[in-house]
Structure 1
Amino acid sequence: MLHHVQINRLSGNEDVLLPVKMSELASGFDLHAAVAEPVVLMPGERKLIPTGFAIAMPGELEAQIRPRSGLAFKHGITCLNTPGTIDADYRGEVKVLLINLGQEPFTIVRNERIAQMVFQTVPVVEFEEVDELSDTVRGSGGFGHTGK
């Protein structure tokens, strides 16, 4: 099913690439940094990086911001709050919360690919309050209850 998402390139970012799929069957759109000057991310440091655009999407969608595997593997750069959620009613600039979990400073330059954005459908959910839940074999076991 085709979903139409409006995108607005923010003023001053005419040179920043819009989200793009890097291969035909990619699920995510790569996002590019819209930093005015290079940003150095020191080990253990986190910063909010602008992308230079805002979006409007139908109510049945959400956009998830996820790390790029190459940056994570090669440099230890990943996203906090992963996946970050952009709700359908948000109209502000899309920004990416990056952290450097690596051992070396990492410099982010304008138009560098910093994350990916994946769209997902959001189911319509309605809660039904009950006095008791049905039993399962697992029950309330969690947080490693099945072993290593």
Structure 2
Amino acid sequence: MTDPIPVQVKRLAHGEGLELPHYATGGSAGMDVVSAEDIVLEPGMRHAVATGLAMAIPHGYEIQVRPRSGLALKHGVSVPNTPGTIDSDYRGELKIILINHGAEAFPIRRGERVAQLVVAPVTQAVWDEVGELDSTARGEGGFGSTGR
């Protein structure tokens, strides 16, 4: 395991009294983040859930927003743009886009864990336009071309 990356976090007024994102276990890759609001997600509904937090992610890193597996399995509640990306130059409130794919309304209470945050390094690319690409055994075989 590498050394932890320091991430500055600012608690907004509506985030007072809530836990900061934290790892549930020593081996956790993602930190649990909690809701700063009460909301009921009706079936098919999407909502950007407030966390009451803003942050300064170090340059060269991103924070990925991922669903909590228990919410997805038990209730059909997930992050529709998985993984969501928080860029290092964003300074607004962290909001978690959730969708209810389940058949029942799903209440979210203030302080309830709603997603996981993973700090990850970012590699930026430079395009090198060429006239031809090297060949591979797969070639242009697309969806399903490698079998099951």
Q: TM-score band (shorter)? A: over 0.9
The residue number in structure 2 matching 1:77 is 77
Contact 2:14–2:36, Cα closer than 8 Å, also in 1: no
**Which TM-score applies when normalising by structure 1?**
0.93
Contact 2:21–2:32, Cα closer than 8 Å, also in 1: yes
Q: 2:14 aligns with which of 2, 12, 16?
A: 12
The residue number in structure 1 matching 2:32 is 30
What is the deviation of 1:59?
1.2
**Separation in 2 of the partners of 1:87 and 1:45?**
26
Distance 1:86 1:70, change over 3 A: same
Matches within 5 A, 1:116-135: 116-135=116-135
**Unpaired runs of at least 5, structure 2:** none
SS at match of 1:43: coil
The residue number in structure 1 matching 2:111 is 111
What is the deviation of 1:2?
3.6
What is the deviation of 1:57?
1.4
The residue number in structure 1 matching 2:50 is 50
What is the deviation of 1:141?
1.5
**Unpaired runs of at least 5, structure 1:** none
**Separation in 2 of the partners of 1:103 and 1:39?**
17
What is the deviation of 1:144?
1.7
1:73-107 per-position Cα deviation (integer Å, ceiling 9, x unaligned): 11111001100000000011111110011111100
Equivalent pairs: percent with the same residue? 49
1:21-63 per-position Cα deviation (integer Å, ceiling 9, x unaligned): 111110001010011xx21111111111011101111111010
Equivalences, count: 146
Which amino acid in 1 is paired with 2:104? E
**Which TM-score applies when normalising by structure 2?**
0.93
The residue number in structure 1 matching 2:138 is 138
CA RMSD of aligned residues (A): 1.2
SS at match of 2:17: coil
SS at match of 2:24: coil
What is the deviation of 1:18?
1.0
SS at match of 1:27: coil
**Separation in 1 of the partners of 2:94 and 2:14?**
15
